[in-house]
Amino acid sequence: MRAPFSAIVGPDGFGVDGPLRTLAVIALKGGSGKTTVATHLALAAHLRGLKTLLVDIDPQASSHEVLSARQGPGPECVTSAGSKVMATQLAAVGLKTDLLIIDTPAGVVEDVSEAIVLADAAVMVVRPTLLDIAALARTLALVRRLRKPSTVVVNQAPVAREGVEAPVVKRALRALEYMRLPIAPVIVRARSVYQTAVETGRSAEEMPDQAAAREIAALWDYVDKALLQAALEEQAEVEA
């Protein structure tokens, strides 16, 4: 039996001797900004001192390209295929990695399914558009069939004006609530700083735009807690 999580996790949910946590970042529809979310989560973990590996199984290898452009220390990133993710995960365990993030391909259901099976939790990325919400149904069906904890991150949303969301965002949130989906309380906005950051392998947290930095910090805090909750639930099942 593994040691209780209370004995191995730190205040942020991870510890040097703790188990590897695995997060799948998924969007079966292209153009959702999945790479931006995946790389920013990997960078957020790295900036908080976690040994992080991002495995990019998208044939476009955009995450690998982003992180390869980074000057200086950063999260490790490798390209792979869905059929090889388990081997990568086992290698990460041997290297005492804290966090493994799987950036999945759009439209390749087999590879996405493999990632979800291996993950502790899944982040589904969606833009606030009718086509994106409709396409989310396929992703949702996979996650629910495989019984994995998940959350939806609304990405590339217009910036709220004086605290009021744009109509397109209001409609998207209502649709997601109707689908009974867990929605991340942090909305990632359509900000040019994200594109500027990824071009140099950096996070918005390392850029002057404080609003974007706060978004990513809050998103990481939410995902970090979600991973810890998934770990605790898994441990409870093991001990039952």
Q: pLDDT class for 4, splitting at 50, 70, 90?
A: very low
Q: Which is the CATH superfamily of the domain at 17-219?
A: P-loop containing nucleotide triphosphate hydrolases (3.40.50.300)
CA distances from 130 to 32, 116, 127, 170, 185 (A): 12, 25, 9, 12, 20
Q: How confident is the model over 140-189, as pLDDT tens digits?
A: 888 889 888 999 999 999 999 988 999 999 999 999 999 888 899 999 99
d(CA 101, CA 115): 10
pTM greater than 0.85: yes
Q: Which helix or strand (DSSP H or E) is residue 26 part of?
A: strand 21-26
Q: How confident is the model over 114-123, as pLDDT tens digits?
A: 999 999 999 9
